[in-house]
Structure 1
């Protein structure tokens, strides 16, 4: 059975961090439909004044943050001792687990293009040990297809394996299609799958989808993606819906209001960080 589009969400421009202009696509209103992806922010700018203020030190708990910097740079520093930079086609993957503080600098570049998404953690792993992993160009396999290519950011494409998520199954492709090209992807019938048109329009299930739009798909065994215009760059994300309660306040995502209140108290009394060090 072929998958069909059940929902489209085009983002709205907002400001976050210390003054970073971005397009927020997914958020509180889409939690249930796009489960387990909580948030998706898109970055696309040729004006450094829109993003170089960056994201000063801030906490997270209960989620994984996955930043795909297709163009530009992002510098990371956290309370478990990591200092790192990803750039041009690389990924910053952080499990906040029981609690982490981190900061992200975004240096000036010719173009900043990419996305950050928040992947929910299962209730049993909300308080797991925080971790950080950078996926550099050499860690990301690329597969040539007719009329394009697929970068396997996570999961597997056929026998080609990318990064393996430690907490929740997650397949993440960056699909590039040239004019007139198309690709049919087999899918696990009940996986939770979404697509995001990072650059250019795309034809998905026969429907023209505008740039910077998230598309949720029905259950099914395959999906057809076609280029629209001269080229299309589409992000494919597949996981397993958690179907768990979500209690979300700012950078903290738990399962109950009581757990959120506990996190707030710990931030105030200095006991939030369970593993690591002062920043």
Structure 2
């Protein structure tokens, strides 16, 4: 059975961090429908003044942040001692787990184009050990097909395997389609599947979808994508819905109001960070 569109959400312009202009596509109102993806922010600018203010040091707990830059740079620093930069075509994957503070600076570039999504952690993994991982261009397989190609950012596509997270499964594809070219992606019936039209309009499940729109699909065993006029760049995300309660305030996502209150109390008391770098071991 082919998947069809269940819900479509078009982003709106807002400002976050220290003054970064971005398009917020998914947020609090979409938690149940797009489970386990909580938030999706899109970056697309040729004006450095839109984003170079960056995101100063801030906390997270209970989620994984997955940032994909098709164009541009992002510099990451955190309380685990990680300092790193990703650039064109690379992915930054951070599990905040039990608690982390991090900052993201965004240097000027010819164009900043990409997305950050928040992937919810299962209740059993909310207090897992925080980790950081960059997925480099040489780790990302580019798979050609007639009329386009697919970049395997994470997970599995057919016989090909990419980076796998330690918690929820996530198959993450960057699909490039020429005008009128079609790609049919096999899916498991019960997978939670969504797409985001990063550049250009597209036909998703045979329906027209405008640029910068997130689409949640119904259950089914396949998803059809077709390029629109001028071609399309579409991000596809497949995971497993958690069906767990979500308590979300600012940068912290837990399963109950009490857990949220405890997290913010720990922030006030200076006990939020459970894991710190051990410089004797280089960690």
Equivalent residues in 2 for 1:51-90, closer than 5 Å = 51-90=51-90
Distance in 1 (alpha carbons) for counterparts of 2:81 and 2:199: 34
What residue number does 2:108 align with? Answer: 108
Q: How far is 1:139 from its partner?
A: 1.1
Unpaired segments of 5 or more residues in structure 2?
279-283
Q: Which runs of 4+ in 1 moved over 3 A?
A: none
Q: How far is 1:202 from its partner?
A: 0.5
Equivalent residues in 2 for 1:158-177, closer than 5 Å = 158-177=158-177
CA-based RMSD of the aligned residues comes to 0.9
What residue number does 2:26 align with? Answer: 26
SS at match of 2:258: helix
What residue number does 1:268 align with? Answer: 268
Q: How far is 1:277 from its partner?
A: 5.0
What residue number does 2:202 align with? Answer: 202
Equivalent residues in 2 for 1:103-142, closer than 5 Å = 103-142=103-142
Distance in 2 (alpha carbons) for counterparts of 1:248 and 1:212: 24
Distance in 1 (alpha carbons) for counterparts of 2:115 and 2:6: 22
What residue number does 2:92 align with? Answer: 92
What residue number does 2:237 align with? Answer: 237
What residue number does 2:253 align with? Answer: 253
What residue number does 1:11 align with? Answer: 11
Unpaired segments of 5 or more residues in structure 1?
none
Which range moved further: 179-188 or 35-44?
179-188
Distance in 2 (alpha carbons) for counterparts of 1:140 and 1:70: 12
Number of residue equivalences: 278
1:78-109 Cα distance to aligned partner (Å, 9 max, x none): 00010000000000000000000000000000
Distance in 2 (alpha carbons) for counterparts of 1:77 and 1:171: 26
Distance in 2 (alpha carbons) for counterparts of 1:103 and 1:165: 21
Q: How far is 1:213 from its partner?
A: 0.1
SS at match of 1:31: helix
Distance in 1 (alpha carbons) for counterparts of 2:179 and 2:208: 14
Q: How far is 1:150 from its partner?
A: 0.4
Report the TM-score, using the length of structure 2 for normalisation.
0.97
SS at match of 2:180: coil
Q: How far is 1:183 from its partner?
A: 0.5
Q: How far is 1:179 from its partner?
A: 1.5
What residue number does 1:45 align with? Answer: 45
Q: How far is 1:230 from its partner?
A: 1.4
Report the TM-score, using the length of structure 1 for normalisation.
0.99
